[in-house]
A and B are shown apart, each in its own frame.
Chain A
Amino acid sequence: MIKKELCQIVSQAEIAEHIFKLTLQGELVREMNEPGQFVHLKVSDYAEPLLRRPISISDINKDENQFTMIYRAEGRGTALLSERKPGDFVDVLGPLGNAFPIEAASTGETALLVGGGIGVPPLYELSKRLVKRGVKVIHVLGFQSENVVFYDEDFTKLGETYVATVDGSYGTKGFVTNIIEDRKLTFDVLYSCGPTPMLKALENNYKDKKVYLSLEERMGCGIGACFACVCHTADDPSGHTYKKVCSDGPVFKAGEVLL
Chain B
Amino acid sequence: MKSLQISLPGLELKNPIMPASGCFGFGREFSQLFDLSLLGAIMIKATTFEPRFGNPTPRVAETTAGMLNAIGLQNPGLEKVMNEELPWLDQFDVPIIANVAGSQEEDYIAVAKDISKAPNVHALELNISCPNVKTGGIAFGTIPEVAKILTKKVKEVSEVPVYVKLSPNVTNIVEMARAVEDGGADGLTMINTLVGMRIDLKTGKPILANKTGGLSGPAIKPIAIRMIHEVSQHVSLPIIGMGGVQSAEDVIEYYYAGASAVAVGTANFVDPFVCPTIIEELPELVRSLGFEHISECTGRSWKNG
Contacts and interface: CB of A to CB of B under 8 A. Distances in A.
B162 to A, nearest CB: 25
B33 interface: yes
A2 B272 CA distance: 10
Given A220-B67, A220-B69, A225 B271 contact: no
Contacts of B69: 220, 226, 228
Interface stretch (B8-16, B50-58, B167-175, B283-291): B50-58
Given A42-B270, A48-B64, A218-B58, A228 B71 contact: yes
Given A230-B74, A242-B74, A47 B272 contact: no
Contacts of A201: none
Contacts of A202: none
Interface in B44-88: 51-54, 57-67, 69, 71, 74, 76-77
Given A51-B62, A223-B33, A225-B268, 10 more contacts: A2-B272, A51-B269, A217-B57, A219-B60, A220-B60, A221-B29, A223-B29, A225-B30, A225-B272, A230-B57
Interface residues of B, number: 39
B295 interface: no
Nearest to B70: A228
B203 interface: no
Contacts of A217: 57
A231 B58 CA distance: 10
B74 A226 contact: no
A-B pairs, top 6 by smallest CB distance, nearest first, are A221-B269, A228-B60, A240-B51, A47-B218, A225-B25, A47-B65
B195 interface: no
Chain A interface category by residue count: 20 to 34
A172 to B, nearest CB: 28
B62 A232 contact: no
B269 A225 contact: yes
A222 to B, nearest CB: 8
B273 interface: yes
A47 B30 contact: no
Contacts of A225: 23-25, 29-30, 268-269, 272
Contacts of B28: 224
A247 B62 CA distance: 20
Nearest to B25: A225
Interface in A184-228: 217-228
B57 A224 contact: no
Contacts of B32: 1-2, 223
Most chain B CB within a 10 A radius of its CB, from A220, A229, A231, A247: A220
